[in-house]
Amino acid sequence: MASRQAHDLDIDQDLAFAQRSWRVQRAAWLGMGVVLLLALAGVLGAGPLSRSDASLPGFLRLEYQRFARYQAPQALIARLEPAATRAGEARLWVDRQYLDDSKVDTITPPPSRVEAAADRLVYVFSTRRPGEPVTIVFTLQSERIGLSSGRVGLDDAEGFVPFRQFVYP
Amino acid sequence: MESVIRAAAIYGLLLMVFRLTGNRSLGQITTFDFILLLIISEAIQNGMVGTDHSVTNAFVLVLTLLTFDIGLSLLKSRLPALERWLEGVPLVIVEHGHPLRDRMQKSRVDVSDVLTAARKLHGLERLDQVKYAVLERSGDISIIPEHGGSDPPRA
């Protein structure tokens, strides 16, 4: 390193400080690279590390995003097993708390009707043939930042699928 | 309420990122740097404005950004240490025609940048006509020319 030389320049040069700030800068570049890799991996939103699923064996498998972003579209996919439909209907419920924190944009297929209960909404889907698996896709947006948890279940089956996701601002 | 938080978050984030990427990034601005700036502003805009396109929201955002800027400049004049961290310190990179390589490399400036500044500012032809080149806090390079005879080179 060049030594401090006496010169006739009136300047508040501070080599020790400059050295320190270069070190901080290098570390920050590394940090930026790490953040970029995390974003690619899906830790900051959709991506491989964000994809997650939970299931109610024999009835329902739920695919959701572990990490979501505020007011950004995300998908909640419910795959219903044949045992989940009864008399040409599949009755899937989502807990009210989760729906209050989200805005549902579309449901594919659209439910034939929705029944409201105190703590949940029951979506009723018509199925063409009994004994066929059915996939239902909710596209929704999170309207609340932070950790949120939801429950999805079937009216005709005991138990439910709990899931948790973190919503980035 | 939300717009103030959004604007404050964006202000802080940009301040940090631009300081950490170094002075040089936007000091000698090239055409591409300028395009990059436009794209960055475009990328930031949606995050800051959100879904609220009202005039009130725009007004609150602008007010927040300006207030933070004034606040920060007041704070900087009170706390010299903060000013250093936020703005950096000037650095001599050429002394009596000799480039200080290590410093130049660390601050991502090369001899051709110094020569460009020397030509532009003083119409100098060679590096040995440069008495001092200083990388200023703004990222600009300022040149003090060697006056023939009046101050002979030491090295």
User: Nearest 5°: CA angle at B84, between B16 and B6?
Assistant: 25
pLDDT digits (tens, 9 = 90+) for A123-141: 999 988 877 889 999 999 9
On whether residue A9 sits in a domain, the answer given is no
CA distances from A104 to A133, B6, B35, B46 (A): 23, 24, 37, 21
Nearest to B89 among A2, A7, A17 (CB): A17
On whether residue A57 sits in a domain, the answer given is yes
Domain finish residue from A32, A49, A66? A49
pLDDT for residue B28: 65
CA distances from A28 to A15, A136, B81, B90 (A): 20, 44, 19, 21
- Domain check: are A30 and A100 in the same one? no
pLDDT for residue B136: 87
On whether residue A149 sits in a domain, the answer given is yes
| Chain B residues whose C-beta sits inside 8 Å of any chain A C-beta | 9, 17, 20-22, 50-51, 84-85, 88-92, 95, 100, 102-103, 106-107, 132, 134, 144
- Domain check: are A45 and A62 in the same one? no
- Domain check: are A93 and A21 in the same one? no
Nearest to A25 among B22, B103, B134 (CB): B22
pLDDT digits (tens, 9 = 90+) for B54-109: 999 999 999 999 999 999 999 999 998 888 888 888 999 999 989 999 999 888 88
Residue to substitute from B20, B21, B146, interface A, most A β-carbons within 10 A = B20
Residue A76: name the closest of A91, A66, A90, A86 by CA: A66
Q: Rg of chain B's alpha carbons, rounded to an integer?
A: 20
DSSP alpha helices (H): ranges in chain A? 15-41, 96-100
pLDDT digits (tens, 9 = 90+) for A28-40: 999 999 999 999 9
- Domain check: are A100 and A44 in the same one? no
Q: What is the ipTM of this complex?
A: 0.74
CA distance A12 to chain B (A): 7
Q: Rounded to whole angstroms, how far apart are CA atoms B11 and A61?
A: 42
B50/A71 Cβ within 8 A: yes
CATH of the domain at A124: 2.60.40.680
The interaxial angle of helices B2-20 and A15-41, nearest 10 deg, is 120
- Domain check: are A90 and A159 in the same one? yes
What 3-state class would DSSP assign to B51?
coil
- Domain check: are A62 and A88 in the same one? yes
Q: Rounded to whole angstroms, how far apart are CA atoms B13 and A165?
A: 24
Q: Rounded to whole angstroms, how far apart are CA atoms A105 and A84?
A: 24
Query: If you count residue pairs, one on A and one on B, with CB atoms under 8 Å apart, how many are there?
Result: 52
Range of the domain at A26: 16-49
- How confident is the prediction for chain B on average, in pLDDT? 86
- Domain check: are A38 and A90 in the same one? no
The interaxial angle of helices B55-78 and B80-87, nearest 10 deg, is 120
How many independent structural domains does chain A possess? 2
- Domain check: are A93 and A155 in the same one? yes
Residue in A with minimal Cα distance to B107: A22
Separation of CA B145 from chain center: 23
pLDDT for residue B23: 57
Whether B112 and B29 have beta carbons less than 8 Å apart is answered as no
β-strands B91-95, A102-108 pairing: unpaired
Edge-to-edge strands, sheet with B91-95: B98-99, B91-95, B130-135, B141-145
pLDDT for residue B55: 93
Average pLDDT of the segment spanning A15-42: 91
pTM of whole model > 0.80? no
On whether residue A159 sits in a domain, the answer given is yes
What 3-state class would DSSP assign to B81?
helix
Is A5 part of the contact surface with chain B (CB cutoff 8 Å)?
yes
Residue type present at position B130: V
- How confident is the prediction for chain A on average, in pLDDT? 89
pLDDT for residue B50: 83
Whether A62 and A77 have beta carbons less than 8 Å apart is answered as yes
- Domain check: are A39 and A74 in the same one? no
